[in-house]
Structure 1
């Protein structure tokens, strides 16, 4: 089964619901779209926490106090499910919120995933810098779920349009 849902379809649905004054239907559609991806959130969190690495036990007490949260924990806490029927990015999406990271470290989750090319960090007491390897966790986790999510979102669009056309 090949299902394709574009952001234009969702934006059109959002506009149609707005024109019809159907806030209840819009709220229901957004809730169902978020519910379609919500079970993937704990899977991503487990995947990121399961990536190799972590030196918290090897760091000094001063280093732990300076940056108490570990990269993988901050990344896992930042996983969010969002849904929108308006704007340029109408759709349902999963993301890692960079607000869970301190200033200067907002892109660490992208380095960990491997979407940014080079990841260097200071090496305490050894060579001044070391290059770290990426450990993909995000896209490999969501890829198997994409067809089911697309099918559910297409179903949401169809049912909302049917209700608008039938009784709206």
Structure 2
């Protein structure tokens, strides 16, 4: 049986780590959380590269920028403590920061055709993130639970 941990468990463990003065244990906790989430990054990047395009994949194009913006984020403090895979709009060039959510289909994607503001088109979304992360999520949750169990044993 697999016991799923909640964000509350993670917050409790991170609070206990903050109270302790063991920098090595804190460092190991962050490192192991990052290692548990890292295998999903190449999966998401491959999904972005496989988004259909008439021009093919270019590292300098929009999809290339999205690939470079994909990363693991680990937080061990606050309400959002945990490890997350993120296609970070803040890492995108100006005026393209909302592109990751528009391509996923969360926002409407309308733009002028080659800069001609008299002619606009609505771009179809090409979901790339949740459809590949959900199936792999169970393995990541198990890995995070192993990390939490090991750190809990070390704290106790």
Same topology, TM > 0.5:
yes
TM-score by length of 1: 0.83
Matched, 1:156 2:147: yes
Residue 25 of structure 2 corresponds to 25
Cα shift at 1:69: 3.5
TM-score by length of 2: 0.89
Flag the structure with higher strand content: 2
Residue 76 of structure 1 corresponds to 67
Cα shift at 1:89: 0.8
Matched, 1:91 2:82: yes
Relative contact order, CA 8 A, sep 6+: which one is greater? 1
Residue 113 of structure 2 corresponds to 123
Residue 106 of structure 1 corresponds to 97
Give runs of ≥4 in structure 1 deviating > 4 Å.
none
Inter-partner Cα distance in structure 1 for 2:64 and 2:11? 34
- Larger of the two Rg values belongs to structure: 1
Provide the alpha-carbon RMSD of the alignment. Answer: 2.2
Gaps of 5+ in 1: 57-67
Q: Deviations over 1:17-51 (max 9, x none)?
A: 12121221121111111111212111111110110
Q: Deviations over 1:43-91 (max 9, x none)?
A: 11111011012558xxxxxxxxxxx941111101100111121112100
Inter-partner Cα distance in structure 2 for 1:100 and 1:162? 37
